[in-house]
């Protein structure tokens, strides 16, 4: 199966938000995020669109993404390279027990987790996954217009979200209340703005949870030796359609949640912990130019030397001036020898 990494350069989309409104990671490093989009059940046709959005926009937030749909990639050694996991619309049993064990080991090492849309519907038999995501998906009414409302305005995921945000989406209901797992619900939905034809009201708590975060989530306990602190968990139930993944408000919401999770500073990109990679955000500066460069060494470089520095070039290929000097010395020695005979 495909595993692909991209540093996500390129210009911002024409309709992208003002740069001042983008929440960028607060670190000298470049956090590494593994996006996992394997499905065993229903597969959203918006997954490729979401991946393209990550590729085009990751640089705006200072994040580097790797993409895979291969469950076999979930080993302890592989996961330790990343500052966060991002489960993108995964469905049903997308990891076996050994792979789930590697994921839990990653969480116990200070790794972060972000889930999008139906990521709350997978791995239903895993207690550690439930403790990390916060709640399991129950059902949703038909795809329709609904009005979502931020509850925590100063959270990065809600930075640009208006008080009432109306668009076409699936409204998720959950088996339990994420607040039972110490979650802080950051977004809700106006119950009068959509039709719930099922009429069910599962014990998900009030206000109706749509997006939330968890500090020090229970799926990360106990921490392994060397892990200084637990990672963070962020989940959003939004993100069903292709149109949503081209919506600047949604992109800012989802990426703001990821940035918040990373900025818990539990990983190597922040100089902490045992997971992630300490990759600099910018290339190191070039080495200083050598001083006291002679004309002879400059000529040597022009003559086609393959050396990496001027000094190396001068030693690799003598200049014509130094050749004449050596010849003169040789003639002098021969002349002195002849005089002695």
Lowest mean pLDDT segment, chosen from 128-132, 164-168, 309-313: 309-313
pLDDT digits (tens, 9 = 90+) for 61-111: 999 999 999 999 999 999 999 999 999 999 999 999 999 999 999 999 999
Provide the b/e sequence for 108-146 (b: ≥16 CB within 10 Å).
bbbbbbbbbbbbbbbbeebebbbbbbbbbbbebbeeeeb
173: its two tokens: 């209901």
Better-predicted residue by pLDDT, 181 or 279: 181
The shares of helix, strand and coil residues in the chain, as percent rounded to the nearest 5, are 35, 20, 45
Rounded percentage of the chain residues whose pLDDT exceeds 70: 74
CA distance 158 to 151: 9
* pLDDT of 97: 96
CA distance 54 to 31: 14
Helices 47-61, 248-262: axis angle to 10 degrees equals 60
Query: Angle CA(129)–CA(8)–CA(245) in degrees, nearest 5?
Result: 60
Question: Could you please report the per-residue DSSP string of 142-187?
Answer: -SEEEEEEES-TTSGGGTT--SSEEEEE---EESS-GGGGT-EEEE
- Strand 84-88 and strand 112-116: pairing? parallel
Better-predicted residue by pLDDT, 242 or 284: 242
* pLDDT of 123: 93
Rounded percentage of the chain residues whose pLDDT exceeds 90: 62
Mean pLDDT of all residues belonging to the chain? 81
Domains located in the chain, CATH noted? 32-270 (3.40.50.880)
Global pTM reads: 0.76
Residue 227: cis peptide before it, omega within 30 degrees of 0: no
CA distance 41 to 93: 8
Q: Which residue has the tokens 């930075």?
A: 159
* pLDDT of 327: 43
Say whether pLDDT at 323 is over 70: no
Terminal-residue alpha carbon distance, the chain: 84
CA distance 129 to 122: 9
* pLDDT of 52: 96
Rounded mean pLDDT, 140-166: 97
Q: By the 8 A CB rule, do 259 and 156 touch?
A: yes
* pLDDT of 289: 57
- The pLDDT confidence band at residue 286, using thresholds 50, 70 and 90, is low
Rounded mean pLDDT, 225-251: 94
Say whether pLDDT at 116 is over 80: yes
* pLDDT of 138: 93
* pLDDT of 274: 93
Quick one: which of 247, 267, 191, 288 has its CA closest to 33? 267
- The pLDDT confidence band at residue 17, using thresholds 50, 70 and 90, is very low
Better-predicted residue by pLDDT, 160 or 203: 160
């Amino acid at each position: 199966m495909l595993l692909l990494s991209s540093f996500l350069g390129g210009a911002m989309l024409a309709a992208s938000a003002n740069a001042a409104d983008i929440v960028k990671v607060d670190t000298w490093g470049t956090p590494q995020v593994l996006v996992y989009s394997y499905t065993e059940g229903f597969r959203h046709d918006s997954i490729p669109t979401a991946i393209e959005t990550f590729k085009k926009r990751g640089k705006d937030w200072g994040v580097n993404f790797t993409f895979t749909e291969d469950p076999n990639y979930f080993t302890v050694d592989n996961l330790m390279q990343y500052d966060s996991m991002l489960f993108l619309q995964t469905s049903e049993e997308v990891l076996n027990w050994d792979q789930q064990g590697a994921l839990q080991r990653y969480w116990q090492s200070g790794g972060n987790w972000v889930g999008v849309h139906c990521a709350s519907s997978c791995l239903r038999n895993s207690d550690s996954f439930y403790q990390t995501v916060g709640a399991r998906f129950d059902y949703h009414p038909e795809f329709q217009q609904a009005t979502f409302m931020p509850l925590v305005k100063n959270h990065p995921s809600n930075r640009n979200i208006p008080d009432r945000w109306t668009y076409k989406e699936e409204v998720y209901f959950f088996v339990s209340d994420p607040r039972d797992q110490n979650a802080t619900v950051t977004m809700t939905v106006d119950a009068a703005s959509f039709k719930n034809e099922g009429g069910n009201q599962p014990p998900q708590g009030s206000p109706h949870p749509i997006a939330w975060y968890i500090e020090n989530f229970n799926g990360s306990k106990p921490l392994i030796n060397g892990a200084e602190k637990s990672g963070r968990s962020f989940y959003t139930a939004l993100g069903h359609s292709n149109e949503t993944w081209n919506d600047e408000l949604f992109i800012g919401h989802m990426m703001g949640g990821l940035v918040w999770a990373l900025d818990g500073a539990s990983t190597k990109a922040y100089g902490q912990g045992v997971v992630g990679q300490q990759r600099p955000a910018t290339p190191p500066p070039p080495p200083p130019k050598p001083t006291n460069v002679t004309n002879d060494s400059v000529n040597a470089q022009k003559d086609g030397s393959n050396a990496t520095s001027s000094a190396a070039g001068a030693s690799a290929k003598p200049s014509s001036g130094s050749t004449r000097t050596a010849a003169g010395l040789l003639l002098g020695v021969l002349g002195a020898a002849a005089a002695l005979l």
